[in-house]
Structure 1
Amino acid sequence: MALNTTANALLAAHAFWGPVTATLDWCEVNYQFSRYIAEVANSFSNLFTIGLAVYGAAQSVTENLPPRYLVGYAGFALVGLGSFIFHATLLFEAQLMDELPMVYVASYCCAILFDTTRGFDLRESNASQLGLIFTVFNVLFTWSYYVSRNPVYHQVVFAILMFTTTFRTVYLLRNGEVSKRLPQEQRSTIARLFSSGAATFAFGFLIWNLDNVFCSNITRWKQSVGWPAAFLLEGHSWWHILTATGTYLMLIGNTCESCRWSLALAVLLKSSLDLTLCIKDDHNNYTVTKKLGIPRIQRVQKIKTQ
């Protein structure tokens, strides 16, 4: 314990990024192992997020999915990259790189849920109007959050977007005109995924808050266990991993009727992407296969969609 304390103080005093300027800090000890990485576990746990996002983006390219889905995976990766930089530096500017993409991606997924016209031709849908609303909203939010610098404001806006996405999804699954495009079995699978996703999100949020509330106790446990085993007690890092796993599985699970991941770890953030893929296209055009044990989307007939 004495060695760790001394090392932390010395590394923090010579931190490459300077003093902490972020409005948030986490339970992981700062600059414990390197003067270049403020929070090692919280930083590198985001590589899991980035890896799944890149894997999903590769599927979008190889299976010729519409560009909107590649954009979604790119946003997914941007969240992971921004979070890595934030936890590595604990600078306010880096904090924005973490928190702003969360709102951008959530609002993007929310926006595309309101584009339910068959096909992906932008001229025959309300995508242009939705794009304008999406842009104006995010410009205003970016400006207002930079001015206020209140993390509660960010959390409230993000929560509203999440609830809107959830309610819109439930509406689409129950709306007669839209839901009739999907078989009952597939709609039931998506509904179960959303239920398990909501429960998992709540559980992850609980872990995150327990990590904050009982930080002093958890820190003593880490010191008793020692590293590297103590990395398993980093609650915020587990939040990153659970969120990444759930987001990816929800992206896959809501695409095809053959996919049944209702017991998988899931969150709600980006399931809207693949729900609209089934609504705007024929769900029979897609199936789910596994590569190295990881589920992936596969187009039955590889005809490029506009």
Structure 2
Amino acid sequence: MALNTTTNALLAGQAFWGPVTATLDWCEVNYQFSRYIAEVANSFSNLFTIGLAVYGAAQSVTEKLPPRYLVGYAGFALVGIGSFMFHATLLFEAQLMDELPMIYVASYCCAVLFDTSRGFDLRQSNAGQLGVIFMVFNVLFTWSYYTNRNPIYHQAVFAVLMLTTTFRTAYLLRHGEISKRLHQAQRSTIARMFGSGAATFAFGFLIWNLDNVFCSHITRWKQSVGWPAAFLLEGHSWWHVLTAIGTYLMLIGNTYLTLCIKDDPNNYTVTKVHGLPRIQRTDGAKKQ
């Protein structure tokens, strides 16, 4: 399944992490600049993911949102950390640290969307049943993926989870009983946030595939341009940046959606700080 076997022979021969054992290798030249970092751009581009996750987690704490949202952002950060380790080492164990959290977080966010009862008391909702389904699904996926080690299987399952989340979001925004709990302006904001996030995520997926398909051509362009400017041609790094933005926007949209469904919609709003949307409690909610 390797996409690229190009390496800096001198540094690769002294690679701190040893031979590549991952089932995937990307278009970035391995060990080009350091014997400690296999793919520099693909590794450090994950700092953008981690930064957005920390920003989202800070919102959850500052606005005193229910713990389920902080858990979601913690998982988002874990994906970035795991991806950093994967691209830095190109070891199969580190690949699992990247790919498994992607499934865990996607399935968790999907499960949250199926808890639509009022209030956040876990004993008065179907959260317990959803938690069992979530755990069983992820245990089975972890076992099956570790057994067959086929990246296409991982990508297919992740795609199904993302599509389920998308369709579930659209359903909730149109469902008679559920949609009546939201104002038209709130439904529009949620649709805009989630739609923009999904489109950004899809564009990142396109860049990822173009980087794979045209790797040999892009590698020659990098050599012609030279570094550091050639870092701008690292397509998989742009996948990290774009999917981080897309994930953040979708999380904001679905956080706002589920807060409005399970609580008083008038207690929350979406504002922008330095161009980034964020969830805020209204003044009335803060005074309660």
TM-score by length of 2: 0.93
1:246 deviates by: 1.9
> Distance between the aligned counterparts of 1:111 and 1:11, measured in 2?
45
Q: Distance in 1 between matches of 2:208 and 2:126?
A: 38
* Structure 2 counterparts to residues 105-144 of structure 1, below 5 A: 105-144=105-144
Give the AA of the match of 1:174. R
Q: Residue 278 of structure 2: which of 281, 289, 296 is its match?
A: 296
Q: Could you tell me which residue of structure 1 aligns to residue 38 of structure 2?
A: 38
Q: Which residue of 2 aligns with 1:174?
A: 174
Q: Which amino acid is the alignment partner of residue 276 of structure 2?
A: I
2:230 matches 1:246: no
Rounded Cα–Cα distance in structure 2 between residues aligned with 1:179 and 1:7: 54
The C-alpha deviation readout for 1:137-160, integer Å capped at 9, x for no partner, is 100100110000000110111111
Match of 1:284 in 2: 266
TM-score scaled by length of structure 1: 0.88
SS in 1 for 2:279: strand
1:278 CA displacement:
1.6
Aligned ranges 1:190-229 → 2 under 5 Å: 190-229=190-229
Distance 1:137 1:198 in 2: 24
Specify the code of the residue in structure 2 equivalent to 1:153: Y
Match of 1:72 in 2: 72
Asked if structure 1 preserves the Cα contact closer than 8 Å seen for 2:82 and 2:94, the reply is yes
Runs of 4+ in structure 1 off by over 4 angstroms are none
- Match of 2:144, as an amino acid? S
State the shift of 1:171 in Å: 1.1
Matches of 1:9 and 1:232 in 2, distance apart? 23
Unaligned runs of 5+ in 1: 1-5, 255-271
Q: Where in structure 2 are there 5+ consecutive unaligned residues?
A: 1-5
Q: For residues 76 and 87 of structure 1, what CA distance do their matches in structure 2 show?
A: 17
Identity over aligned residues, as a percent?
85
Letter in 1 for 2:279: I
Count residues in correspondence.
281
Larger RCO, structures 1/2 (Cα 8 Å, 6+ apart):
1
* 1:28, distance to aligned residue in structure 2 (A): 0.3
Aligned-residue CA RMSD in angstroms? 1.7
Tell me which amino acid in the other structure corresponds to 1:62: T
